[in-house]
Amino acid sequence: GGGEVVGPGGILISNPQILQRLLFELLSGVEYLHSLGIVHRDLKPGNTLLTSEGRVKISDMGLSKRLDNDQSSFETASAGTAGWRARELILGNRCTRAVDLFAVGCIGHFMMTGGSHVFGERVMRDANIVAGKSDTSKLGHNEEARALIQALISQDPKDRPTATQAIHHPYFWPAEKGLRFLLDCSDRVENEDAKSELVVAMEEHAPAVFRGPWDEALDQCFIETLRERRKYNYGSLRDLLRAIRNKKNHHRELPDEVKEKVGEVPEGYLAYFRAKFPAIVVELHKYVQEMGFSAESSFSMYFPPPPK
């Protein structure tokens, strides 16, 4: 089954919100199977069926394997379908629940790109999977989608998120949550000295967020409203976050021409800064995890609860 991802009546789905919801539902289904100790082992577009309500149903449980209570891996015979199998399945190594997350990464890319496989043409897929040669260029500037797919298709199964972790990924955050995250990052380092470890570590992510001074990427009328109040260092990621936070808090007072450019809070406003700095959310998400902030109460809403 090559299976296309189609909506009712056979329409290819390109609406990003619908794609988000379908992938979320697929991961929720996988999370449920895994909570029962079931590994599907053969997830692919052809058996993740879309119902007429546009919901995802996981079918074709023929190859699935039940893990015993304390077991987390199993020996593999040649389960799965060429092109959707993780490296460890292809090589016949011991497998874990992570094989399903790999397949979800491939399916997610397939859905987001209207049927393109992240490991290339059919004949090369398994070889590319074993070699770890993937191509996410068709995802364009959607860095949240790219970060999620790349994590899911990691060569080492230990590097793949669990279904629960994947569901909490920034790709799925609504605009309000994404914007709040940036503001929380800004608040977290607001009172730190510029030479403090937290700020230095944050600035290490700056080159991935902007090239050259960040004011050059933004509309001149927005920059002029910044200059009225205080000084900003245009080479600093912390100062960019500070600017985003301050102008969000004073959004009502912005001149109309500026409001027109930066949009309404939260959707338009976050979209404006993500369009200018596509990696801003994913880089700060990495930063927060590196610094261990994910355990702090002010960041707990962005991460799964720690396992009991």
- Positive or negative: CA dihedral 253, 188, 308, 65: positive
The active-site residue out of 42, 100, 184, 239 is 42
Structure tokens at 176: 């309000």
Distance between CA atoms of residues 265 and 22, nearest Å: 26
Angle between helices 280-290 and 175-189 (to 10 degrees): 50
Nearest to 102 by CA among 155, 168, 46: 155
Distance between CA atoms of residues 95 and 228, nearest Å: 59
Nearest to 256 by CA among 221, 217, 215, 230: 221
Asked if 219 is an active-site residue, the reply is: no
Structure tokens at 112: 């987001």
Distance between CA atoms of residues 190 and 188, nearest Å: 6
Structure tokens at 126: 């398994």
Structure tokens at 281: 């959310």
Annotated catalytic sites, by residue? 42
